[in-house]
Amino acid sequence: MVATCLGEFQALGTFTVCLLVLIALYTVLGARFTTIKQRSWVLTTISSATMTIASLPLVSRYASSPGDPTRLGTSTYWTVLTSRYFQAYLVADLLMGWMHYRKQVNILTGWIHHTIYIFIVEYAIRMGWSHIFCLCAVMEIPTFVLALGSLYPALRADMLFAASFFATRISLHIALCISFITNRRSMTGGSLAPAAIMGCIFPLHAFWFYGCLKGFVRRARVKSEPHVIKLQVVPETPTPVTSIASPMVASVHPSKYWSFPRRRGSIRVAMRSFSWDFEHTRAKAVGRFGEVRRRLRASLPGRASVYAYVGLDHRGQLQAANYRLSGAYPEEEQEVTAAH
C-alpha cells in the first residue's frame, strides 16, 4: 500500500516537473516566432525530437536482433520517465493550445487524439509495457520533420516526411503489430492488448498517409498546368519603325506582343459584349425619339386646321400668296416672264 502510494506520488511529481518545463520552454521559445501557426508547433517539435532520441536505444536493440521484440527487456525507470514526459507534452499542448492557439488545435488530431493517448500511455505504464511504448516512439520522426518545416519553411522537406512516415508509421507499424501477436506469450503474458491498440491506430496513420499522397498529386498537377502570366501594361512613347521586316516588333512592347495570342479570346468576348450593348442602347434611343415625335405631333393642330385658319386649302396657294406679297418668284417663273 505504502509502496503504491509512493509510486503514485513519484509519478505525479515526474509528470508535474515535465509539464512545468514544457510550459516554460514554450513561453521562452514561442516568443521568437511571429505567427500563431508557428507557435503551435513549438511543443510538438520539442516533444517529437525528445521521443525520437529516447527511442533510439530500443530501436537499436530491436534492429540488432532481427526484429525479435523479446530482446527488448522490460520496463525501466528511463522508459517510465519517457512515457510520463509524453503525457506531460499532451497535456501542455492542449493547455497552451486552449490559451494561445485555439484555432490550430483540431478536434480529431488535437483534443480526441491527445486525450486517447494520455490513457493509452497510462495503461502501458501500469501494465509494465512502457518499453514497448518507447520503442514505438520512433514513429515520431515524421512528426519532427513536419514540425521543423512548419517552424522554418526553408527546412521543409515533403519527400523526407513522406519517406519517414511510410518507413515508421506504415511499414514498421505493421511489422511491430505482427511481432506483438506472434510473441505475445513472452512479451505481454499472452495479452493481445498492444497489438489490438496498434491495430486500432493504424487506420488513422493510413488516412494521414493517404492525405499526404493526395497532396503530392495535387501539387504535381499544379506544376504541370500552364501558368498564366499576368503582365502589367506600362504606357510609353511609341518607337518609330526603323525596319520594314519587323514593324510589329518595332511598334509594340515585347510584353504586349507576347500577350496578344493569350488575350485574343477575351478581346473577342469583350467586343461582342460591347457591340451588343451599343445596339441595345441605340435601339432604346431610337424608340424614345420616336415616342417624343409622336407626342409632339399629337399636341400640335393638324395641317388642314392650319390651312383653314389662314383661309387656304392647299400649300400651293399659300406659297403663291407669299410670292405676290414679296415679289420673288421661282427661277422657272422668271425664265417664262423673260421669254414673254
Mean pLDDT of 70-87: 90
Mean pLDDT of 185-209: 90
The three three-digit cell numbers of residue 307, written as one number: 390651312
**16, 21, 23, 29: CA torsion to nearest 10:** -170
Least confident of 6-15, 136-145, 169-178: 6-15
8 A C-beta contact, residue 165 and residue 202: no
Q: Distance (Å, rounded) from C-alpha 151 to C-alpha 148? A: 5
- At residue 37 the predicted structure's pLDDT band, cuts being 50, 70 and 90, is very high
Which among 234, 264, 265 is positioned nearest to 252, based on CA atoms? 234
Whole-number pLDDT of residue 51: 96
Q: What is the pLDDT of residues 200-224, one digit of tens each?
A: 999 989 998 998 888 888 888 887 7
Q: Distance (Å, rounded) from C-alpha 104 to C-alpha 36? A: 8
Whether the pLDDT of residue 338 is over 80: the answer is no
What global pTM score does this model have?
0.63
- At residue 244 the predicted structure's pLDDT band, cuts being 50, 70 and 90, is very low
